[in-house]
Amino acid sequence: MLAAFCLRLAWGLIVSMLFLPSAIVPPRFFRVQYLTALGLLAVATFFLREQAELWLWLAVAGAAAVCFLGSIVWHVDGAPGGRVLGWLGGAALTVALILGGQTVRGEQDAGWRAADDVAAGMVLGAATTAMLMGHSYLIAPAMSLAPLYRSLILLGVALSVRTALAAYGLWLWTHSGATPALQGDLLLWLPARWVLGILSPMILGWMAWETTRLRSTQSATGILYVVTIVCFLGELTSQLLMEKTGYLL
């Protein structure tokens, strides 16, 4: 489960970065994104070392190489090839994410589970990117608010897609003939998943948006720290529910 979480977060960080205007955002931000993704890939590799096959190793190695190069390129003036590396990293991590998910869970319902990986990765990556972007205003207070607005919009879209998929999965689960009674662990984890992973980030994300409109970036950053935490908890709970029920809840 931890390997899948790390791959999702690494994918989300790199893909979220592609939506940011590189002419405005300080190079330090992109370096941190690449290095964080590289560290997450290392953790995922450690936990997949006994299960991974050749194609997954190649995808992870390619993604790690791009992240390493990206962290170097954004040290150079003008970051030559920085955007191209971003797209290459996103492509390599997409392959690693899908193959990693199949390695951990098998190939049954591969399409449904791949959608779960992508939607979860987008929520995790968008929340973390928005939080880190808000933090950037502490060292670059004169920077335009456009990057933070983009990050918050991306988070809202990601949460909307995630909510739609989770609602559809919940509908499928409750209408399946094998649905167990809502008791025991499910009675605890299902409400926690929806409150922590969906409702709370939506409410807090709206609060961060309104706070940003007031140009209070420090307050928005504090809210986004909480958004990141509840998104992490919500997605970890979702993984537990997926293992227990087989449905994206």
Examine the domain organization and report whether 231 and 160 are in the same domain.
Answer: yes
What does the alpha-carbon distance between residue 223 and residue 101 come to, in Å, rounded to a whole number? Answer: 31
Q: Which two tokens stand for residue 48?
A: 């997949």
Residues 245 and 189 in one domain: yes
Determine which helix (DSSP H) or strand (DSSP E) holds 46, and give its type and residue range.
helix 27-48
Query: Are 128 and 41 within one domain?
Result: no
Check: CB of residue 109 under 8 Å from CB of residue 122.
no
Same domain membership, residue 125 and residue 28:
no
- pLDDT tens sequence across 135-189: 988 888 888 999 999 999 999 999 999 999 988 888 888 777 655 555 566 777 8
Extended beta strands in the chain, E state: none
Burial class (CB in 10 A: 0-12, 13-18, 19+), 26: middle
Number of domains in the chain: 2
Question: Chain-centre distance of CA 20, in angstroms?
Answer: 15
User: Do 162 and 77 reside in the same domain of the chain?
Assistant: no
Rounded average pLDDT over 38-62: 86
CA distance 182 to 15: 36
On whether both 99 and 2 belong to a single domain, the answer is: yes
Query: What does pTM read for this prediction?
Result: 0.91
Let me know whether 40 and 127 are in one domain: no
Domain boundary among 87, 107, 127: 107
CB atoms within 10 A of CB 142: 5
* 153: nearest Cα among 122, 189, 107: 122
**Which of the four pLDDT bands, split at 50, 70 and 90, describes residue 110?**
low
Quote the Cα angle for 5-10-12, to 5°: 95
Claim to verify: residue 50 and residue 154 sit in the same structural domain: no
Biggest CA pair distance of the chain: 60
- Which class for 219: exposed (0-12), middle (13-18), buried (19 or more C-beta within 10 A)? middle
Write down which residue in 47, 79, 107 finishes a domain.
Answer: 107
Contact call for residues 121 and 8 (beta carbons, < 8 A): yes
The radius of gyration of the chain from alpha carbons, rounded to an integer in Å, stands at: 18
Domain co-membership, 148 together with 227? yes
Region of residue 179 (phi > 0: left; psi between -120 and 50: alpha; otherwise: beta): beta
My answer on whether 58 and 102 are in the same domain is yes
CATH number at residue 28: 1.20.120
Split at pLDDT 50, 70, 90, the class of 39 is very high
Q: Are 99 and 63 within 8 A, CB to CB?
A: no
Q: Does residue 136 share a domain with residue 54?
A: no
Q: Which tens digits make up the pLDDT trace of 179-199?
A: 555 556 677 788 888 998 999
What number is the average pLDDT over the span 122-131? 96
- d(C-alpha 227, C-alpha 12), whole Å: 15
Q: Are residues 86 and 10 in the same domain?
A: yes
Can you tell me the distance from the alpha carbon of 35 to that of 133, in angstroms, rounded to the nearest whole number? 15
Q: Report the mean per-residue pLDDT for the chain.
A: 87
Dihedral pair phi/psi, residue 29, rounded to 5°:
-60, -45
Answer with the one of 107, 130, 162 that is the final residue of a domain. Answer: 107
Q: What range does the domain containing 127 cover?
A: 109-249
